[in-house]
Homo-oligomer: A and B are copies of this chain.
Amino acid sequence: MTPAQPTPDSTSSPARPSTIQDVAREAGVSRAAVSKVIRNAYGVSDRMRTQVEAAIERLQYRPRVAARAMRGASFTLGFEIPQVGNDFLTMIVDGATEALATTPYQLIIAPLGRDQKGDVAINSLADRQVDGIVAISPRVDPAWLERIAERTPVVMIGRHDRSDRYDTITGDDRSGAEQVMSHLVGLGHRRITHLTIHPSRPEPPWAGQAGDEPHVVRTAVYRERMHALGLEPTVVHTLFDGSEARTATRALLDSPEPPTAIFAGNDTLAIGVLSAVAEAGLDARDVAVVGYDDVPIARHPLVSLTSVDQSGAAMGREAARLLLERLEGRTEAVRLEIATELRARRSSAELSRLPGP
């Protein structure tokens, strides 16, 4: 053994964590050899592998991600999510975490602060040289995102746009919204109000593609179906966090001709709607409520919210898979569309007090 031991004083200064150099010395091989072993790269003999692995174990070596990222990969995939508390997004993250469990990749999430735009978080992930990015904010500039995607694989979840540079995963919002409308109309509803989040404001410069956003698609389908039935569509816009949904619903219920059904753009809003309905002493017999996303709480018997399942977990799994594919060399863009399924529950089941046709 060489006298250059890893400084046996463990009391005063916090012992320097070992580096690839230390491992190489301990195993009696070169740094490059150790590097190949930890990356599972080609060209290492069994004997060397076991030697190096033993040295790694003895020295408790862990590669520094920052140093790896300087030349190679960071083995990190980044999720940009606009709202930490949103259960639908949570399902997506869960799915991806699951899919990555058996890979050397670690998932990190960059949450958005209130009033922060998605590009801040995406930039921040890019600065950290993650090997791939999953973006969910539908309102970042596609052109800008393509520039990011030139350097780092990107999967955009939710937005129906078409890009040659990044992959997209969407739910089938058109069919999902159709299912909702058929369901409500089938129950006999005519005064159906649609409640959704505010459109981008101020209008973004790429506004021509606003129809890409999932909520906008759902709203469009709502309008089409109402018109087709000769009914007047009523669309109410609120903030995305559900607080405004409650007050907006209260106003609707107090109006001279209150709706008999409310189609909310997502479950967060629908939960807010249900608050107002319950607080007004009403229930599904007075106002049917339908949401979108089928978050876990929707199936709780006290809530029992009719919703559209677009399988967030599958979206997350697929997003992870698409990124891994890109990292393995795929270059053509892929577009995935996830099928939707209506989960009819009590919030839209009973119709006793519906006005006659």
A residues in contact (CB < 8 Å) with B: 14, 17, 62-67, 69-70, 74, 76, 84-85, 87, 90-91, 93-94, 97-98, 100-101, 106-114, 116, 123-124, 126-129, 150-151, 271, 274-275, 278-279, 296-297, 300-303
Neighbour of A106 across the interface among B63, B66, B101, B124, CB < 8 A: B124
Supply 5 A–B pairs (Cβ within 8 Å), ascending by A: A14-B150, A70-B70, A84-B94, A94-B111, A109-B111
Question: Which residue of chain B lies nearest to A63 when distances are taken between CB atoms in the complex?
Answer: B127
Asked whether, in the complex, the Cβ of B300 is within 8 Å of the Cβ of A129, the reply is no
Please name all residues of chain B whose beta carbon is closer than 8 Å to the beta carbon of A100 when the two chains form the complex.
Answer: 113
Known contacts A85-B87, A297-B297, A300-B275; A110 and B107 CB within 8 A of each other:
yes
Q: Would you give the shortest CB distance from A131 to chain B, in whole angstroms?
A: 12
A76 CA / B303 CA spacing, docked (Å): 39
Asked whether, in the complex, the Cβ of A85 is within 8 Å of the Cβ of B90, the reply is yes
Asked whether, in the complex, the Cβ of A128 is within 8 Å of the Cβ of B278, the reply is no
Q: Would you give the shortest CB distance from A305 to chain B, in whole angstroms?
A: 9
Asked whether, in the complex, the Cβ of A93 is within 8 Å of the Cβ of B97, the reply is no
A93 CA / B300 CA spacing, docked (Å): 25
Asked whether, in the complex, the Cβ of B116 is within 8 Å of the Cβ of A111, the reply is no
Please name all residues of chain B whose beta carbon is closer than 8 Å to the beta carbon of A303 when the two chains form the complex.
Answer: 300, 302-303
Please name all residues of chain B whose beta carbon is closer than 8 Å to the beta carbon of A97 when the two chains form the complex.
Answer: 84, 111-114
A275 CA / B301 CA spacing, docked (Å): 6
Question: Which residue of chain B lies nearest to A78 when distances are taken between CB atoms in the complex?
Answer: B108
A114 CA / B65 CA spacing, docked (Å): 23
Asked whether, in the complex, the Cβ of B66 is within 8 Å of the Cβ of A70, the reply is yes
Please name all residues of chain B whose beta carbon is closer than 8 Å to the beta carbon of A274 when the two chains form the complex.
Answer: 300-302
Asked whether, in the complex, the Cβ of A111 is within 8 Å of the Cβ of B107, the reply is yes
Asked whether, in the complex, the Cβ of B300 is within 8 Å of the Cβ of A64, the reply is no
Q: Which of A76, A107, A151 has the most CB of B within 10 A?
A: A107
Asked whether, in the complex, the Cβ of A94 is within 8 Å of the Cβ of B85, the reply is yes
Q: Which of A63, A90, A98, A274 has the most CB of B within 10 A?
A: A90
